[in-house]
A and B are shown apart, each in its own frame.
Chain A
Amino acid sequence: MTAMIEVDSLNKTFRIAKRRAGMLGGLRSVVNPEIRTVQAVDDLSLHVDQGEMIGLVGPNGAGKSTTMKMLAGILVPTSGTIRVAGLVPTLQRRQLAAHIGAVFGQRTQLWWDLPLIDSLHLLRHLYRVSQERHRHNLQRLSQLLDLDEFLDTPVRQLSLGQRMRGDLAAALLHDPKLLYLDEPTIGLDVVAKARIREFLLALNAEQGTTVLLTTHDMDDIETLCPRMIIIDHGRKLYDGTVSSIREQFGSERTLMVVLNDAEHAELTYDAKGLPHLHDLPTGVHVVKAEGPRLWLSFKESALLSYELVAWLGARYRLRDVAFQEPEIEDTIRRIYEEGLLLSER
């Protein structure tokens, strides 16, 4: 396996001028700015092989996009070394750009008022793709992504799912070695999400494209990425498989119950506003209460989920129950709060 991305001790510090309040303050900020430094990426090392599919997760502002920008050569690192596809991004940005495809879920690179096909044709010239190769790729991509039915529709009239398929085609017409996807399934319905994921799996298997994706959707990671990297405060907290992180950190599940009104009225609450439930089995805690709704967290190892439902059902009159899987954001928060740094270099 050849390396696609090699990153060693990458750092990025931003200097941010603090603005003072008021008019005089604004003037003072210009004359004598109060500089605050922010460590956006902190000693990050990373090795990605060609053909890998990696999920990059972390809360907003964790340093994901700063990292991606440095990988693409858009942003110059404060220190550390990067090689992507054998190139040094900051020195060979334009050369590298020919090997990178990028899709930003929130923004499109397509020309809004024109038929999709026009954008796809123009991109041939932006990336200097030969006519032959472009025709071949366009044919293959429109088949895989089922673009034919809306190739002649102006982009502004496409549904979000169609637009995303169009954007994927646009990012792949020049056969990039590395595909960067920023929240590729955001806002899509279940069917559209499944379709995008299916396509990405096929792309990765057939073309061997290396895929780096950031997402808040845990299903994206689970279906697409054997490997995931968690970043927070610019540091790599975790680098490994999704299943092992679930085992180690996602073991707490949450059950939401809605009590019958009469039952709800009888509850007594403690100082924190949480109700007293007598004789709760060990390992079960009430974490939140909102009117008749209660959230209970429990460990699967201590008590199986159906046992907890049965236990509650025997003692309280319930209107509804629902299980909530741990959100990746919660898992990351727990990893961070508990100071469990897993990354080893």
Chain B
Amino acid sequence: MTQHEDFPDTHHEMTHNTFFGFWIYLMTDFILFATLFASYAVLRDATFGGPGGKELFNLPAVLLETLILSTSGFTCGLATLAIPVDNKKKVIAWYAVTFLLGLWFFLQVCTEFGHLIQDGNTWQKSAFLSAYFTLVGTHALHILLGLVFIVVFLIQVTRRGLIPVTKRRLTCLSMFWFFSYVVWIFMYAIVYLMGVT
């Protein structure tokens, strides 16, 4: 803590700038998703005589995925609350729970993709399916990336403790995780729910 008192302003500024920079990254990521949403919306009915969303989507499974990811966002929030008060055990425990829920979500999406591909409904079948796999696949990749970083940062926390560097990284990771759920909300509504109406 003496180090922090010696250079309070520098550290404060640096951390603040990191969060602002990361926020800008998240916003550009949002624009990436917006382009994929736009192409999906345009190609939604271009099924080339094949099955559309109404025939393909399994809504109960999607509801389960949404609830899993929502819960993981909450547990990630609980982990974030433990960061400023230096509760290392709580940070590790809640991020571990978040990891397991995230992994469950990722495997659910993979199973869903697996069913589609087994039935011959791959991304090569129609423009609708290409747009669908690109959009949902990009989100799944974000979740996978988040899972990898949870593991990496938790190893850093166990080895080096809750020092300013690890705290900063974990806070950015939490922002990334919350953001992934915000994107999923729109996927749940626009792709799945509106896909069957």
- Please determine whether chains A and B interact with each other in the same assembly: no
Which residues of B does A touch, CB under 8 Å? none
Which residues of A does B touch, CB under 8 Å? none
